[in-house]
Chain A
């Protein structure tokens, strides 16, 4: 495992590669979920997963570099994610009032 630096945690240190690797796995899972799942709720969840993977990366580097900017940015990303979830869910609720929605592929009205 390549060593990109150490992070102090607990009483010892841990290579930041572990955290970054976890973030990459989470991001990939989220991306795959967005691409292959059709249920809109699951897709929203997967998007959250990708955002959190990004947050984890930010915090990892923040700790490694002893710079709080990354953690502040993660907080900001969470706020944006919350707002985005609100908008996304509201749209879904609105659509489901008009019709039954199980598959996002049915939503192709914007076809050019």
Chain B
């Protein structure tokens, strides 16, 4: 099997699984669904491993496999080509590896569904993974947009999986609309690039890029950034992500860890030659990431739904990735992407275990005391939490330190990277705090009096194994790159991605060790004693009692939903209403109604002639004959 066919197989396998399960949804036996659903993803993972070995041995030479020509119209040449380089293999491994674990886990989590829904679920999951793989493997922007839209579609299907629940349908619709805003940006950006450089393939565009920045380049970069922001749920197109929690928990894990939200980071990374030139758009990436990181972390502090806390933490962590790729520390951003995939999948699947055993209760205030009863899940969840908080030696520590360290040490006359570092630093402390709060509320102490299940059972093996694997990955995964700050060491991720991104363009300074150590200490303090003091022992009253205004502001998520409602939804509704009253009724409805009324009236007059009386007809005939005679004589004179 050639490498070219193998690359195509990565895409075709999950696609075939999805189509097969979709077509045979009601007839495929459950046992077969359990094999085909995750199986195709795992085989795709094996294929990705082969590509990994190839990339490892050939020194990072990229392949551009062209299969056939899709569109050919004058200048516009769109081949169906897959681009395999270090970055896309890196992404493929995460998508299929973490995705495979999540799909396997779903075997157990979705067990209560009917056979039809069960097959439907795996059909959508495989479609999701196919779309994401197409997104990361695409060799041109048009194909990328196909995968991009496919991800939006499958997220829509999965968020609205419980289609009999109104809130799920609304959330799915919201996610879709937000994503389509991004898709429009992507498509327009592609148009601009094509108009300027007459190519849609990465190779063609990069070859045609000018040496210096230009307004056209900035425009393209900003339009593409709209797509990235929407897909990655960054400000200001973020509101769909927390609502996306309406989907089943494995879906949340898939959206947040393996696929979808990382697409924006991937896009900026993939088009890094473009963003390296377009410095304003590039700065905007970093700024948006930083703001989102802080914004989302502050909201996460007051959420009580365990999945929503995790959702806001995702936004916040993606913000870190945007910050990293935004300042040009691409390898750091993708390292954090990998770390986040590990620990966020772990957290969601762990939360899934808890939710599953609690009869679908998601309010953390009604948990408590799970440490004694669900020990395995508790330990794994703790590992995930510590990783999210960035505590040594878990994977989140290493990646976050590289991100913050690289940002801090970037030389910049204006001091912007340092300012962003400060915000990222504050966010790290908040992260420790809300993660600790989540942990103490859900797992420690005694059971809450409102807990729905008195004696929760530990999750079954098919759910526990992926969680444990992810826990192990979150524990040891960070040691692939330990060069952050004051502890120089190997940097395998950076070396691995170097053929794609090149080395970090600036030298890390010694001064880094101060922020590194400070973050470590403060996040740990926030996680452990501070959150403990606030939420378990209640030494201080929680701020919500002292600052009700702040509490409300955060609980309402800074009124973003309300703002969009006022700004877009209501004016749109009002415009529709006005159109109905001013245009629809008097003009559009009136036109066909008038035609109808005229026809009916005319027919009424004409039907008088058809009175059915024989003698009337005879009279008319005779009269007509007479008139005819008169005319004939008159003409002849």
Q: Which residues of A contact B (CB under 8 A)?
A: 31, 34-35, 38, 43, 104-105, 107-112
Contacts and interface: CB of A to CB of B under 8 A. Distances in A.
Nearest to B610: A112
Given A31-B622, A35-B622, A111 B610 contact: yes
A108 B622 contact: no
A27 to B, nearest CB: 10
A35 B613 CA distance: 11
A35 B619 contact: yes
A109 B606 CA distance: 17
Given A110-B610, A111-B610, A112-B610, A105 B622 contact: no
Contacts of B612: 107-112
25 contacts: A34-B615, A34-B618, A35-B615, A35-B618, A35-B619, A35-B622, A38-B615, A43-B614, A104-B613, A105-B613, A105-B614, A107-B612, A107-B614, A108-B612, A109-B612, A110-B610, A110-B612, A111-B611, A111-B612, A111-B613, A112-B606, A112-B609, A112-B610, A112-B611, A112-B612
B72 interface: no
A109 B614 CA distance: 11
B397 to A, nearest CB: 90
A43 B618 CA distance: 11
B613 A108 contact: yes
Which among B611, B618, B619 has the greatest number of chain A C-beta atoms within 10 A? Answer: B618
Contacts of B607: 112
Interface residues of B, number: 12
A110 B265 CA distance: 78
Contacts of B610: 110-112
Contacts of A108: 611-613
A77 to B, nearest CB: 17
Contacts, number: 33
Contacts of B622: 31, 35
Interface in B370-419: none
Which among B607, B610, B615 has the greatest number of chain A C-beta atoms within 10 A? Answer: B615
Nearest to B615: A35
Contacts of A109: 612
Contacts of A34: 615, 618
Interface in B579-637: 606-607, 609-615, 618-619, 622
B553 to A, nearest CB: 74
A104 B615 contact: yes
B447 to A, nearest CB: 83
B106 to A, nearest CB: 69
A97 to B, nearest CB: 19
Nearest to A109: B612
A-B pairs with lowest CB-CB distance, top 8: A112-B610, A111-B612, A108-B612, A112-B607, A110-B612, A104-B614, A34-B618, A111-B611
Contacts of B609: 112
A31 to B, nearest CB: 6
Nearest to A47: B618
A104 to B, nearest CB: 5
A24 to B, nearest CB: 12
B365 to A, nearest CB: 77
Contacts of B614: 43, 104-105, 107
Contacts of B618: 34-35
A108 B615 CA distance: 10
Given A35-B619, A111-B611, 14 more contacts: A34-B615, A34-B618, A35-B615, A35-B622, A104-B613, A105-B615, A107-B614, A109-B612, A110-B612, A111-B612, A112-B606, A112-B607, A112-B609, A112-B611
A105 B614 CA distance: 7
B622 to A, nearest CB: 6
A43 B610 CA distance: 21
Contacts of B613: 104-105, 108, 111
Nearest to B614: A104
Contacts of A107: 612, 614
Contacts of A110: 610, 612
Which among A34, A104, A112 has the greatest number of chain B C-beta atoms within 10 A? Answer: A112
Contacts of A35: 615, 618-619, 622
B440 to A, nearest CB: 86
Nearest to A37: B615
B346 to A, nearest CB: 80
Nearest to A36: B615
A112 B611 CA distance: 6
Contacts of A43: 614
Contacts of B615: 34-35, 38, 104-105
A13 B45 CA distance: 121
A95 to B, nearest CB: 12
B426 to A, nearest CB: 86
A108 B535 CA distance: 93
A35 B622 CA distance: 9
A86 to B, nearest CB: 18
Nearest to A31: B622
A31 B612 CA distance: 19
A34 B613 CA distance: 12
Nearest to A108: B612
B608 to A, nearest CB: 8
Interface string B148-165: 000000000000000000
A111 B611 CA distance: 4
Nearest to B617: A110
A4 B125 CA distance: 103
A38 B613 CA distance: 11
Interface string B316-352: 0000000000000000000000000000000000000
A109 B607 CA distance: 13
A107 B615 CA distance: 10
A110 B611 CA distance: 7
Contacts of A38: 615
Interface string B213-233: 000000000000000000000
Contacts of A31: 622
B180 to A, nearest CB: 55
